[in-house]
Chains A and B, each alone.
Chain A
């Protein structure tokens, strides 16, 4: 009896191992098929990708092109597994904020590669080449671009009798507006908890990023520390923003703004349309980040496609990548209003997709916001830095800790 049991358990375990081994396989395509892997959260996302796929198929009739999709959250988990098992799709989607963890899987793109793909970076927005680059090496070409803006609630500003901010405003204007709009239980501004949301103003004010171009962490650089301390001082000293209630409120500033508790907040261009058409029914407006003595440095962010290092037929993959970023494909995403395209020639189509009453403002602010932008520099452990700082920010906003101390200890811990 005992023997049989042991045997059965061993057999079951062996079967289990075989099964787990199998699950990572599959999806292998013959070398003349180019697989595109991209995130898609809804049917409309998939439809849009299929429309671009059609364009790519038409331009490359000799190639078989297949599309794989997964929702945003699962996409990166799946990509990790695919990379580990050497099963990464030849053309793989990537986002500027995620790239640093995945550079190992992507082919470094050379000028010759871009030529094969039929891409001339001069046709793209300035700074677009930095979006999917890490430490000066380019791993992908973006299809859309984004940056951070200041959004305002026009109704709250009107009620407080404050003029609406205009593109190109200064940090003094920003403070004056926030102060004047802080009354009747409403706050003039809402501080951010997300990396992009809270760092946008300090970066603009300091005129530099908390990381150097080579990936060295520079959180304690005096200019950045000053700007960041000024930022947290909006809550603790100026009292023009509410203290954050909990470290789990990761979207604090954006939620306070959307909930009409604050007149201004910082968020990305990707949310422009949803704020303009907000459900709460307030009149939303937007403007560029304010500028100071050091200009108004913004980050250029975005998503695009790269080529897998393990790809067996990189030339075919590059051609497909070129088609996915061709003027036709870019015109399509622009005119559908899905996102702001990276190709300069396609950008006007995006504005045309926006409701007429908002169009002039969006066009002016977007154009101006992308004038002074820089690709985001990240250190190798950037996600750890963010995870460490975020819960500490709560203590800073509540006056139990200083911004300087938090940046200092983060630098000590992660700057080695």
Chain B
């Protein structure tokens, strides 16, 4: 059997096989095209049109983008709210969950149960979480009730005060998302190579030095992953403000995604909504790219 005689045959076989393979993947490709590619392309197109849900569509070029930046009274506040939320939420969430993972990494009794406890908010439906938080925070709620009966202090109406409302959205979101990052960090901490830890211990490292100089650098890929994912989800925040504060009072807690939702589905301005969505997309891409560039300085992949 000489290879030369088989070469052309193998070529036809490969071709037939790839054709058959294509037959097998075509349902997936059709699905991808129908549910991903077409809507994405359509949304780009929509961004350049005055596109009411019903009625005549009209090409307006970059008008939607200009309108967003110069005329829409809610766009800049929405952008500001999104950034305020992300700036507060990402560091607090990452640091707290890291602390939690570190304190649960030593062999303390019942840490499995504690981990489950902290993870519960991640798996419970957001609507239920928000309902509980509302019952805690409203003036007739638990916090105000306790403050009044114990200290005789009247707490502010948290969800109706422009300053407090955003803080409470962040607090609730941190509580809700804490368990997920904690789980990532816990997994990374469990995987620390024994040899490195032992070598550091022999060299006399312990306590803060051990965590700062040995453990953190070694789990830095996980920290990087968690902070990127947390940042992306925080820029896309919608459910918490929508359900907890309704974007109010006024537009004090209305993030960009809620703005997009209102434009598209309440005001039927699909073109404007699509344009705003692409601005959000651009922001997320740029920030993620910057993070990827910065990671070279602080993320260590080699053990």
Residues of A within 8 A of B (CB): 1, 4-5, 8-9, 11-13, 15-17, 19-20, 80, 83-84, 101-102, 104-105, 242-250, 261, 383-384, 387, 390-392, 394-395, 397-398, 400-401, 413
> Does B221 touch A at the CB level, under 8 Å?
no
18 contacts between A and B (CB under 8 A): A12-B29, A12-B30, A13-B33, A16-B33, A80-B268, A104-B55, A243-B139, A245-B137, A245-B138, A245-B140, A245-B157, A246-B159, A247-B246, A247-B249, A384-B267, A391-B247, A394-B160, A400-B249
With A1-B18, A8-B22, A398-B157 known to touch, is A20 a contact of B29 (CB < 8 Å)? no
Task: State whether A395 touches B138 (Cβ < 8 A).
Answer: no
Taking the closest CB of chain B, its distance from the CB of A20, in whole angstroms, is: 7
Which residues from A are CB-within-8-Å of B245? 246-248
Q: Are B73 and A413 in contact (CB under 8 A)?
A: yes
Chain B hits for A242, CB < 8 A: 139-140
A5 to B33 alpha-carbon distance, docked (Å): 13
> Chain B: which residue is nearest A396 at the CB level?
B249
Q: Which residues of A contact B138 (CB under 8 A)?
A: 245-246
| Chain A residues near B249 (CB-CB < 8 A) | 247, 391-392, 394-395, 398, 400-401
Q: Which of A13, A83, A391 has the most CB of B within 10 A?
A: A391
Smallest beta-carbon distance A412→chain B, Å: 10
Contact between chains at A387 and B266 (CB < 8 Å) = yes
Q: How far, in angstroms, from A395 to B161 measured CA to CA in the complex?
A: 7
A56 to B73, CA, bound (A): 50
Asked if B267 and A397 make an inter-chain contact with CB atoms under 8 angstroms apart, the answer reads no
B41 nearest in chain A by CB position: A13
- Asked if residues B38 and A400 are in contact (CB atoms below 8 Å), the reply is no
With A and B bound together, what is the CA distance between A110 and B179 in angstroms?
64
The complex places the Cα of A395 from the Cα of B164 at a distance, in Å, of: 12
Rounded to whole Å, the gap between the CB of A99 and the closest CB of chain B is 14
Cβ of A80 and Cβ of B54 under 8 Å apart? yes
Q: A16-B30, A395-B250 are in contact. List 18 more A-B contacts (CB 8 A).
A: A4-B19, A11-B26, A15-B33, A16-B33, A101-B268, A104-B54, A104-B55, A242-B139, A244-B160, A245-B160, A246-B165, A246-B246, A247-B159, A383-B267, A391-B250, A392-B249, A394-B246, A394-B250
Contact A383 B266, beta carbon cutoff 8 Å: yes
Q: How far is the CA of A247 from the CA of B168 in the complex (A)?
A: 14
B242 nearest CB neighbor, chain A only: A248
A400 touching B162, Cβ below 8 Å: yes
Q: Cα distance A248–B127 when bound, in Å?
A: 12
> Is the CB of B243 closer than 8 A to any CB of chain A?
yes
Asked if B266 and A246 sit within 8 Å, CB to CB, the answer is: no
* Cβ-defined contact, B248 with A392, below 8 A: yes
Report if B79 contacts A (CB, 8 A).
Answer: no
Contacting pair A395 B162 (CB below 8 A):
yes
| Chain B residues whose C-beta falls within 8 Å of the C-beta of A84 in the assembled complex | 53-54
Complex formed: what's the CA distance from A1 to B19 in Å? 9
* Minimum Cβ distance to chain A for residue B177 (Å): 20
B288 interface contact, C-beta 8 A: no
Q: Is the CB of A248 within 8 A of B244?
A: yes
Q: Give the chain B neighbours of A413 by CB distance below 8 A.
A: 73
Contacts of B250 in A (CB 8 A): 391-392, 394-395, 401
CB-CB under 8 A for A398 and B267, given A13-B38, A391-B250? no
- A339→B279 CA distance, assembly (Å): 47
Known: A9-B33, A12-B30. A243 touches B157 (CB 8 A): yes
Q: When the two chains form their complex, are residues A245 and B134 in contact, meaning their CB atoms are under 8 A apart?
A: yes
Q: When chains A and B are docked, how far (Å) is the Cα of A219 from the Cα of B203?
A: 76
Chain B residue at smallest Cβ distance from A16: B34
A246 and B244 within 8 A (CB) = yes
Task: Give the residue name and chain of the A residue nearest to B18 (CB).
Answer: A1
With an 8 A cutoff between CB atoms, is B37 at the interface? yes
How many Å from the CB of A193 to the closest CB on chain B?
A: 9
Contact with A along B113-149 (1 / 0, CB 8 A): 0000000000000000000001001111100000000
